[in-house]
A = this chain, B = another copy of it.
Amino acid sequence: MSALEETVKGLKYNADGLIPAVVVDAESKAVLMLAYMNETALLETVGTGKTHFWSRSRRKYWMKGESSGHTQQVRAIYTDCDADTLVIEVVQSGAACHDGYFSCFYRRLNEAGRWDVVAPKMFDPDEVYKKKSGE
């Protein structure tokens, strides 16, 4: 087993064999999205230099950007004290969110207890995904 395989095995996965991965923009450090990896998705991410995840709803691997072209080039991978979460620094092509925003976290809680959209829309999802199901 390679050092990398040992390291990947050494992380703590949940009952479904998944670990949450917080994807952040390498330059601004803005959180772009959170998605889940299993051992295979993480090895694929390291091996290809592009983020791969396990889709819990579709029960399959996916490469971020496989439909939209909005891939994520990996710059660095971190883990936390408990080794049960990852932070992945990436260079984002286009925008991370299939709703058309650079980050999926485009809504902020306001004083009235409701969500405000606080980011500009960067693309029209209908155009980019051509009515295919979003990622």
Give residues in A with beta carbon < 8 Å to B: 2-7, 20, 22, 24, 28-31, 33-34, 46, 76-82, 85, 87, 97-99, 101, 104-109, 112-115, 118
Contact = CB atoms under 8 A, between A and B. Distances in A.
Count of chain copies: 2
Given A7-B115, A29-B28, A34-B20, A104 B76 contact: no
A90 to B, nearest CB: 13
A92 to B, nearest CB: 15
Given A20-B20, A22-B22, A80 B113 contact: no
Given A30-B29, A87-B31, A113-B7, A81 B97 contact: yes
A85 to B, nearest CB: 4
